[in-house]
Amino acid sequence: MSGDIPYGPDRKPWKETLHPAAINPDGTLMVTAPSQDPAKIYSYPDKEKVTPTFYQVPSMGFTANHTKKALDETSTYLNTQSDNHIGYQVAYGDASQQVAKDYLHAFLNNIGDPYVPGNYSIHTKWMERNVLDYYASLWNAKWPHDDEDPETYWGYVCTMGSSEGNLYAVWNGRDYLQGKFMMTDVTGRYPITTYVQPKPKADKPNAFTPVTFYSEDSHYSFMKCLAVLDVMSFYRLGTELYPDDCPLGGDWPTEVPSEGGDSGPGSIDVDKLYKLVEFFVAKGHPALILLNYGSTFKGAYDDVKRIGETLLPMLKRHGMDERWIEVTDPNKPDEPILVKRNGFWIHIDGALGCAYMPFMKMAFNQGRTKIQPPPDFDFKLPFVHSICTSGHKWPGAPWPLGIYMTRTGLQLQPPTNPGYIGSPDTTFAGCRNGLSSLVWWSFLSQYTYEAQIDRLLYSLDLVKYAYEELEKVQADIGEDLWINYTPLSLTIWFKKPNDDIIFKYSLSADSLVINGEQRGFVHIYLMANKTKANVDSLMQDLRAPGAFVEEKREKKWIRRARRADVERHITDLHDGMIVGKDDKGLKKGVQPLYNWPLSGRGFK
Ligand SMILES: *Cc1c(COP(=O)(O)O)cnc(C)c1O
């Protein structure tokens, strides 16, 4: 550590920038000095044109001039990058979102349950409830929410996007399949709420151990959900307990294969899913099935309807369509209660697709598009348990927000009922962003169904335009650009161009194995806030000489060392089992605790 390292916009030695309040009477410091110059340690790609020292915050503060210089530089950067951006499925800048500016003077906090007013009165829960009703109706749920009616929907607007929606779904599904129930003990001075969980019977030891299934095209948040909530994936359980019995033959795949693998459209292979689910259901495990409706990289749709209809008879054969669960109230151990529950949970990750697909169907019914409507995915299907979506993807917002929705009868009940906030703690976060519900409501109040359809058709036209333009570039430069598109999606993926182009347009890059060859791809998303001019600009750059020349990266973006850390840790745990390495570079005989997404689709 050195107080002599230059720090802050004036490049004075750090110790000279230190506020006297941080110096103890004996001359020692109350705070630590930098051990290296952060400007040299952190990654500041030249392309960003950001001056690292502008942002180092000295404890004596900035001059007004320095603050302005830093903010101006940041504004210029953000404006340029936002204008050029065409890589990800986010939309922003809509006039309906500008309304947010007028509400920044209040701390809008929708803490607690959306349907129960709490003690914190500066909230927008009436807007939140109406946003939720809108989507409940669109997704064919029974609405409005009614605590007394288990068939009605229940949901909330998330603080994060679909990562939180997925997390909540896995939590909800896990507890439901583990047979947990909430009990409130009212015999004491204060009511005490606890979870009770039945013990499995000796002949059905797996009855309350759910196993999770999702496809290789799924979002990396699923892996985190499993890790955080300690839920078994079929891969983990299969490799640990049945290494030689994978029903697909060979080694257990880490995820359910997608149709046609990397070369396919990205939807889950239903036959393989069936075989994998049956293997575990036959052993008495309940199944937690996570499906995609608009996957991250390819925009692919799992055929939810067909999956439910195919799996249900098989689940029924194994007594897993519905089952009786015996719950015992600790205060009345002699009067067990029998409750009926499904032995499976189907969650739909509709981060992008669930928010616009209903409008695709309306456009089709109106004869405004010939594109076939997508498969049904929503609460009209009795086997769908939960759905989530990301509001910043569709319709768009200037920050992350989302919806988690389930049926009231399946609702996860809170382990506590804090008197502190006065509203049941049914959501994941504590404080929840009330401005999110406000901007979302503001969008819905300004866009009719017709306007949503127009917006979608505009995006689809842009997709068609971009596809045709890419084909022209391909013909002009005489190079196969591996252009690909999943019908109904708003994305096109093609050969990865050079790093300057990836940076300029914020393209999302990934690699796929096609015909045994590892190929680099990028995708673009043609969201409704983009124009033909955005496409034209990209095409012009793709036409330039060297556009598709691979560059050496100055710096590895992903810290590969992480994998080594994991390996070391596992090796310690499994000492003595090591015999060589598998293709993931892990020692053979050592199973990763879970597959950490170093390079998953859409991760970068
Ligand atoms: C974007 C995305 C997510 C995660 O959503 P966030 O809003 O980034 O949390 C989850 N699933 C899919 C399919 C996605 O595309």
| Structure token pair of residue 108 | 């809008």
Structural domain 162-390, CATH architecture? 3-Layer(aba) Sandwich (3.40)
Q: Is 338 in a helix, a strand, or coil?
A: strand
Ligand 1 and 215: CB distance under 6 A: no
Would you place residue 374 in the very low, low, confident or very high pLDDT band (cuts 50, 70, 90)? confident
Cα of 400 to ligand 1 centre, how many Å? Answer: 10
Packing angle, helices 353-365 and 449-477, rounded to 10: 100
Rounded distance between C-alpha atoms, residue 588 and residue 41, angstroms: 35
The class of domain 450-543 in CATH terms is alpha beta
- Cα 161 to Cα 517: distance, rounded to the nearest angstrom: 34
> Which residue in the block uniquely carries the two structure tokens 């047979």?
179
Distance of CA 161 from the midpoint of ligand 1 (Å): 7
Mean pLDDT of 468-486: 95
- Residue 508 near ligand 1, beta carbon < 6 Å: no
Instruction: Please report which residue ranges of 396-446 form alpha helices under DSSP H.
Output: 434-446
Q: Where are the domains of the chain?
A: 6-84, 162-390, 450-543, 552-604
Question: With a 6 A CB cut-off, is 391 part of the ligand 1 pocket?
Answer: no
Closest residue CA from atom 2 of ligand 1: 351
Does ligand 1 lie within 6 Å of residue 231's CB atom? Answer: no
Instruction: Give the alpha-carbon dihedral of 215, 220, 222, 227, to 10 degrees.
Output: 120
Say if ligand 1 is within 6 A of residue 434 CB.
no
Structural contact between residues 491 and 498, judged by C-beta atoms closer than 8 angstroms: no
> pLDDT tens across 55-102, in order?
999 999 888 999 999 999 999 999 999 999 999 999 998 989 999 999
Residue to substitute in 222, 393, 486 for testing ligand 1 pocket (most ligand atoms within 8 angstroms of CB): 393
Atom of ligand 1 nearest to the CA of 161: 7
Contact indicator for 172, 251 with CB cutoff of 8 Å = no
- Pocket flag, ligand 1, residue 389 (CB < 6 Å): no
- Quick one: DSSP state of residue 106? S
Q: Is any atom of ligand 1 closer than 6 Å to the C-beta of 221?
A: yes
What 8-state DSSP symbol labels residue 411?
A: P
Confidence of residue 495 (pLDDT cuts 50, 70, 90): very high
Q: State the distance from the centre of ligand 1 to the C-alpha of 226, rounded, in angstroms.
A: 16
Closest residue CA from atom 15 of ligand 1: 296
Q: Is the CB of 165 under 6 A from ligand 1?
A: no
pTM of the full structure: 0.90
- What is the 191 CA–ligand 1 centroid distance (Å)? 39
* Residue located via tokens 């947010």: 100
Alpha carbon of 305 to ligand 1 centroid (Å): 22
DSSP-based three-state secondary structure for 287: strand
Bigger pLDDT: 518 vs 460: 460
| Amino acid 419: pLDDT | 58
160 lines ligand 1 (CB under 6 A): yes
- Give me the chain's average pLDDT, please: 88
**Would you state the structure tokens that stand for residue 561, as one six-digit string?**
């060392």
Q: Which two tokens stand for residue 121?
A: 């009165």
Q: How far does the centroid of ligand 1 lie from the alpha carbon of residue 50, in Å?
A: 28
What's the token pair of residue 322? 């519905």
Locate all alpha helices (DSSP H) within 520-597, ordered by sequence. Answer: 532-543, 561-573
Distance 170 CA to ligand 1 centre (A): 15
Task: For residue 491, list its beta bridge partners.
Answer: 525
Please state, in angstroms and rounded to a whole number, the distance separating the CA atoms of residues 566 and 560: 11
Output the furthest CA–CA distance in the chain (Å, rounded). Answer: 81
Q: Quote the ligand 1 centre to 390 CA distance (angstroms).
A: 7
Distance (angstroms) between ligand 1 centre and the Cα of 386 equals 15
How confident is the model over 274-288, as pLDDT tens digits? 999 999 999 999 999
pLDDT tens profile 172-190: 999 999 998 877 777 777 7
Banded pLDDT at 339 (limits 50, 70, 90): confident
Task: Kindly give the number of the ligand 1 atom that is closest to the alpha carbon of 294.
Answer: 13
CA distance 277 to 254: 14
Q: What is the pLDDT of residues 504-540, one digit of tens each?
A: 999 988 888 888 888 999 999 999 999 999 999 999 9
Q: Is the CB of 342 under 6 A from ligand 1?
A: no
Ligand 1 centre from 314 Cα, in Å?
A: 31
Contacts 24+ apart (CB under 8 A), 241-249: 242/279, 245/279, 247/275, 247/276, 247/278, 247/279, 248/272, 248/275, 248/276
Between CA 432 and CA 346 the distance in angstroms is 26
Residue 388: CB within 6 Å of ligand 1? no
Contact at 8 Å (CB) between 360 and 373? Answer: yes
Q: Give which of 596, 517, 521, 602 is closest to 563, Cα–Cα.
A: 596
Cis link prior to 144 (omega < 30° from 0)?
yes
Give the bridge partners for 390, in sequence order: 402
Give the contacts of 26 (CB within 8 A, at least 6 positions apart): none
Contact 481, 467 (CB under 8 A): no
Q: How confident is the model at residue 1, as a pLDDT?
A: 60
The confidence score (pLDDT) of residue 506 equals 95
- In angstroms, the CA 353 to CA 390 distance is 9
Q: How far is the CA of 20 from the centre of ligand 1 (A)?
A: 46
Q: HSE (CB half, 13 Å, CA atoms) of 310?
A: 14
Residue with tokens 């390292």: 5
* Range from 151-160, 296-305, 333-342, 357-366 carrying the lowest mean pLDDT: 333-342
What mean pLDDT comes out for the span 33-62?
90
Residues 6+ apart with CB under 8 A from 482: 494, 495, 514, 519, 521
Confidence bin at 48 (pLDDT 50/70/90): confident
Q: Using CA positions, which residue lies closest to atom 5 of ligand 1?
A: 162
For residue 555, which of 43, 37, 48 has the smallest C-alpha distance?
A: 43
- Could you identify the residue written with the tokens 């901007």? 439
